[in-house]
Amino acid sequence: MFTWWAAGSEKAGLDALVGVFQEQHPDIEFVNGAVAGGAGSAAKDLLQTRLQAQDPPDTFQAHAGAELQDYIDAAQIEDVSGLYEEFGLTDAFPADLVERLSTEDGAIYSIPSNIHRANVLWANPAVLEDAGLDPSGEYEDLDAFIADLEELDEAGVTPISVATTWTQVHLLETVLLADLGAQAYSGLWDGSTDWSSDEVTGALEDFETIMSFTNSDRDGLDWPEATQQVIDGQAAFNIMGDWAVAAFEEQDKELGTDFVAVASPGTAGTFDFLADSFTLPVGAPHPEGTKAWLETIGSLEGQTAFNAAKGSIPARTDADPADFSEYQQGAIESFANDTIVSSLAHGAATPVATLNAISDATSKFTTGASDLDAFQTELATATQS
């Protein structure tokens, strides 16, 4: 079973799911093939190598949307719509989520385990108060946010923590969303928004400014270390998906007292969405084992145990909000009421090749190997292909 949930709160989420699997299928041996690296930064390349060598795992984690479509187009995964019938899942998930897992002819290629929100600002209210700032962390736009980053910088703390490239791309997507708005942000992925426009230039300038307020050790870190800087009060802010809530909760931190979690600056009312799902690869060595795993993933019990530990919300619509934390109850409400857009850094918005090209361009820019003009041109080229 192949994921990138290899350590910390992500592994705790996986362990909770495996606990349910072992109860439901005591006769099947679970083999954990997790490969470390947030957002699949190492796992996805390795998976591709295995799939091309006809050496697939029995099941692997894939993001709903464009990333899953890559595996469908390459004929690397099987249609599992028969399992939806067999496990009674046909009406268990929101229709637009199932659409992102399907082809037009009604084939469905994976079973979703959860829904995450990418546009969350995590803040340490004590650090904000010490700097004389509003501890709520709520910002209507990036100008107001940047003004406070300047204050924090003068106060001698890290204004905003970030980690290696994929987390910088994650930050970039929330900046594009804030400056362009939900509609024009979505247009970046279907060609209706021009990557060469002045609006995108303005967003990239804001990205450059925000990056200038981040920790200098960023490229050697993954998300848990960047989030930890907020937990420890070394940094005021971190923009990260809501898997981060599991890290705060694991360390007994209280929402509202020890940390705040709000829509990232300038994105209130929008839910930047991603979902993990699980597949049956073509040529899986133990398809009966896969089937059992997929049954657990789709079950109410599996989704409840997994998501309560992982920070995400269940993909199933019949889960009881009372089984989840205060943060998650808020996320369930936002998912129901907000405008939904697709995450770039987590496979919902673009194919893997496009994301890789955007990541390379971002890394060149943030390490000083290209200037803003070149960055914008490279982003435009990456998305044309």
Give whichever of 4 and 145 is closer to ligand GAL, judged by the CB atom. 4
Point out which span in 32-40, 64-72, 139-147, 182-190 binds ligand GAL (CB under 6 A).
Answer: 32-40
Told to check if 10 binds ligand GAL by CB under 6 A, we report yes
Residue 65's φ and ψ, nearest 5 degrees, are 105, -145
Nearer to ligand GAL, 100 or 346 (CB): 346
| Residue 57, token pair as written in the block | 């795992």
Torsion of CA 267, 268, 272, 273, to 10 degrees: 180
**Which among 23-31, 35-43, 260-268, 332-340 is the span making contact with ligand GAL, rule CB under 6 A?**
35-43
Least CB distance to ligand GAL at residue 223 (A): 6
Does 170 bind ligand GAL (CB under 6 A)? Our answer is: no
List the one residue out of 72, 11, 66 whose CA is nearest residue 36. Answer: 11
C-alpha closest to that of 238 among 227, 247, 222, 228:
227
CA nearest to 162, candidates 240, 262, 245: 240
276 binds ligand GAL (CB under 6 A): yes
CB 111 to ligand GAL: min, Å: 15
> Quick one: 98 or 226, whose CB is closer to ligand GAL?
226
What's the Rg (C-alpha) of the chain? 20
- 75-79 long-range contacts, CB within 8 A, separation 24+: 75/282, 76/51, 76/281, 76/282, 77/109, 77/110, 77/279, 77/280, 77/281, 77/282, 78/109, 78/279, 78/280, 78/281, 78/282, 78/284, 79/107, 79/108, 79/109
x-or-dash string of contact with ligand GAL, 93-132, rule CB under 6 A: -----------------------x----------------
Q: Tell me the sheet residues that pair with 355.
A: none
What residues are paired with 214 via a beta bridge? 160
For Cα atoms 272, 85, 100, give the angle at the middle one, nearest 5 degrees: 20
Please select the residue that binds ligand GAL; options are 243, 248, 278, 365, rule is CB under 6 A. 243
Pick from 68, 346, 359, 378: which binds ligand GAL (CB under 6 A)? 346
Nearer to ligand GAL by Cβ, of 160 and 247: the residue is 247
Looking at the Cβ atoms of 173 and 179, the one nearer to ligand GAL is 173
- Strand order across the 158-161 sheet: 158-161, 235-239, 120-123, 260-263
For residue 171, state whether it binds ligand GAL (rule: CB under 6 A).
no
Q: State both tokens at 283.
A: 């040529």
DSSP string, 231-254: HTTSEEEEE--TTHHHHHHHTTPP
The answer to whether residue 274 forms part of the interface with ligand GAL (CB under 6 A) is yes
Q: What minimum distance in Å lies between the beta carbon of 170 and ligand GAL? A: 9
**Is there binding between residue 38 and ligand GAL (CB under 6 A)?**
yes
- What residues between 354 and 383 interact with ligand GAL by CB under 6 A? none
State the minimum distance, in angstroms, from the CB of residue 346 to ligand GAL: 4
Stretches 36-44, 134-142, 153-161, 375-383: which one binds ligand GAL (CB under 6 A)? Answer: 36-44
- β-pair partners for 158: 235
- Residue 220 per-residue DSSP state: G
327 binds ligand GAL per the rule CB under 6 A: no
Q: Rule CB under 6 A: is residue 60 a binding residue for ligand GAL?
A: no
If the CB atoms of residues 127 and 331 are measured against ligand GAL, the closer one turns out to be 331
The residue count for binding ligand GAL (CB under 6 A) is 14
Q: Identify the three-state secondary structure at position 341.
A: strand
Q: In the bound complex, what is the minimum distance in angstroms from residue 3's beta carbon to ligand GAL?
A: 8
Residues contributing to the site for ligand GAL (CB under 6 A): 4-5, 10, 38-40, 63, 116, 223, 241, 243, 274, 276, 346
